[in-house]
Amino acid sequence: MVRVRFAPSPTGNVHVGSLRTALYNYLFAKKQKGDFLLRLEDTDRTRLHEGAADNLLKALYDTGVIPDEGLVLDEDGNQAQKGDVGPYIQSERLELYQHYIKQLLDDGKAYYCFCTKERLDDLREHQKAVGETPRYDGHCRDLSQEEIQRRIDAGEPYVIRLKLPENKEITFSDTVRGDVTINTADLDDQVLIKADGFPTYHFAVVVDDHLMGITHVIRGEEWLPSTPKHVYLYECFGWDAPQYVHLPNILNADHKKLSKRQGDVAVGDFLDKGYLPEALVNFLALLGWSPEDEREIMTLSEMVDAFDITKVHRSGAVFDREKLDWMNGQYIKAMDDEALAERIAPYFDDENIDHDTLVQYASLIKERIACLSQAPDSVKEILNGDFDWPAEGEAYDILHADTVPILYNALYEKLTGESDWNAENIQGHIKAIQKEHKKEGVKGKALYMPIRLMLTGVMHGPDLALIMSVLGKDECLKRLRRFHDEIL
């Protein structure tokens, strides 16, 4: 049975790249009818960020990438842990790491290191100066048992390092990269337990993935160079390593790694701006994978059906903001007005705005906005009454055609008489005008275009009767009178 995990460190707001990692784990688990776990890797005590776990869970639940096991939200929306192989927060598993590090020490696969920060800094500086790759020089690899005990008793701080064999090839298979082989000569004797007694990520990840029965490790490409150390640890313990799947980096338009400097990267920022969670997830799914039939718009469950981990791309995926806007726009367009009204409501400052008005706004703007936060400005632009009529060009000609005065008079009269102001009735009047004045040439382009121009100053826009109904009778008549006084 497939078991995968998303194992973020709670160091800040969730990055879209992390959500993509979580999503690929989720898609793979669901496709294989397996389990998707969430584990919190909080062993780096210097980088902890308050509220990060809440932020993480919120991002996952908001986007539907919901864990089956591990850290979850309970029915009341509170953090909880669910499953038989917990705890799922690494800082609550310290005893386990102590147990397993002891095993490595006893087997001579790990060693105490008392090197001070000053010594390590000097070593690094020296290695850099002579053009070597900075790495630990094995200074403490062969200390005697007595010396170790004496120094521990004396209260000297220490770390515990992995004792990598010299000149050994380590090979593992990666679903995306194929077989990867690295010689231990290119690896460092990794610190497994830090001076504060906490394990490093590298040690905890192996112990936990094993104890939690993880079958596939799907994570970002930045972990590829660390994987041989993990694989060697599995070997030391006599455990089977999981299958590795390293996902391609997500890049900015300039093909550098996606960074904050080029705009938003936090999931919460995108959601706050009014990117729909379903659109964001759809967009992220296509950063590094595409379905066989090249479909682009997919629900989460359609993605699960189509997902094939063996088709994950090797090369970096560009985070194309224009494409995200396009995709979000597609989702907005496809929503019904009622649903869209609810989603745009929080973006309007006016708290008294009523539901019916929001539904009308939704219908007006749904073809035009890329994200929900653009709704108020878009409405303002469409309904703006502070415009001048065009002084030249096609629009000018349309407004100055011989038929315009006839049209104007008929329209003004009909609208003045209307007591039940709604799009349908307005549409009825326009149709009636066409019928009554067709012979005078008031039809087709000489009908809708000039009305739109008279009332909004522009040639194109959302449904005309709808705009008029939203503007209201008084405002339409006022605009017509201004047109009459200034232009006609």
Residues 6-25: x where in contact with ligand GLU by CB under 6 A, - otherwise, as a string = -xxx----------------
Identify which of 192, 38, 18 has the alpha carbon closest to the alpha carbon of residue 100. Answer: 192
Query: Cβ of residue 246: shortest distance to ligand GLU, in angstroms?
Result: 10
Cα gap 191→16, rounded to integer Å: 29
Does residue number 71 form part of the binding site for ligand GLU (CB under 6 A)?
Answer: no
Catalytic residue, from 102, 128, 260, 435: name it: 260
Identify which of 250, 243, 257, 251 has the alpha carbon closest to the alpha carbon of residue 310. Answer: 243
Cα gap 197→199, rounded to integer Å: 7
| Residues in region 332-371 near ligand GLU by CB under 6 A | none
Which residues lie across from 71 on neighbouring strands? 81
Exposure letters 38-71 (e unless 16+ CB within 10 A, then b):
bbbbbbbeeeeeeebbebbbbbbebbebebbbbb
In the complex with ligand GLU, the residue whose CB is nearer, 201 or 275, is: 201
Does residue number 201 form part of the binding site for ligand GLU (CB under 6 A)?
Answer: yes
In the complex with ligand GLU, the residue whose CB is nearer, 163 or 229, is: 229
Query: Cβ of residue 242: shortest distance to ligand GLU, in angstroms?
Result: 10
Stretch that binds ligand GLU, among 191-199, 216-224, 307-315, 419-427 (CB under 6 A): 216-224
In the complex with ligand GLU, the residue whose CB is nearer, 8 or 376, is: 8
Query: Cβ of residue 201: shortest distance to ligand GLU, in angstroms?
Result: 6
# residues contacting ligand GLU (CB under 6 A)? 9
In the complex with ligand GLU, the residue whose CB is nearer, 219 or 366, is: 219
Identify which of 193, 195, 159, 198 has the alpha carbon closest to the alpha carbon of residue 48. Answer: 198
Query: Cβ of residue 217: shortest distance to ligand GLU, in angstroms?
Result: 6
Stretch that binds ligand GLU, among 57-65, 72-80, 215-223, 269-277 (CB under 6 A): 215-223
Question: CB of 453 within 8 A of CB of 397?
Answer: no
Query: Cβ of residue 142: shortest distance to ligand GLU, in angstroms?
Result: 31
Residues 223-262: x where in contact with ligand GLU by CB under 6 A, - otherwise, as a string = x---------------------------------------
| Residues in region 401-420 near ligand GLU by CB under 6 A | none
In the complex with ligand GLU, the residue whose CB is nearer, 20 or 437, is: 20
260 is catalytic: yes
Q: What count of Cα atoms within 13 Å lies in the side-chain half-sphere of residue 17?
A: 21
Residues 31-70: x where in contact with ligand GLU by CB under 6 A, - otherwise, as a string = ----------x-----------------------------
Identify which of 133, 159, 348, 372 has the alpha carbon closest to the alpha carbon of residue 270. Answer: 372
Sheet of 191-193: strands edge to edge? Answer: 110-113, 159-162, 191-193
Query: Cβ of residue 80: shortest distance to ligand GLU, in angstroms?
Result: 21
* 337, 338, 358, 375 from 342: Cα distances, Å: 9, 7, 8, 12
Cα gap 237→311, rounded to integer Å: 32
| Residues in region 101-140 near ligand GLU by CB under 6 A | none
Count Cβ atoms within 10 A of the Cβ of residue 177 and give its class: 0-12 exposed, 13-18 middle, 19 or more buried.
middle
Q: Residue from 219, 229, 366, 429 that binds ligand GLU (CB under 6 A)? A: 219
Count Cβ atoms within 10 A of the Cβ of residue 24 and give its class: 0-12 exposed, 13-18 middle, 19 or more buried.
buried
Q: Residue from 53, 205, 309, 415 that binds ligand GLU (CB under 6 A)? A: 205
Identify which of 138, 164, 177 has the alpha carbon closest to the alpha carbon of residue 230. Answer: 164
> What's CA 216's distance to the chain center, in Å?
22
Which residues contact residue 221 at a Cβ distance below 8 angstroms, ignoring those fewer than 6 apart?
Answer: 246, 247, 248, 249
Sheet of 178-183: strands edge to edge? Answer: 79-82, 69-73, 35-38, 3-6, 216-220, 243-247, 169-174, 178-183
In the complex with ligand GLU, the residue whose CB is nearer, 158 or 223, is: 223
* Tokens linked to 315: 């090369």
In the complex with ligand GLU, the residue whose CB is nearer, 86 or 390, is: 86
Does residue number 190 form part of the binding site for ligand GLU (CB under 6 A)?
Answer: no
Query: Cβ of residue 205: shortest distance to ligand GLU, in angstroms?
Result: 5
Query: Cβ of residue 236: shortest distance to ligand GLU, in angstroms?
Result: 18
| Interface with ligand GLU (CB under 6 A) | 7-9, 41, 201, 205, 217, 219, 223
Please identify every residue annotated as catalytic: 260
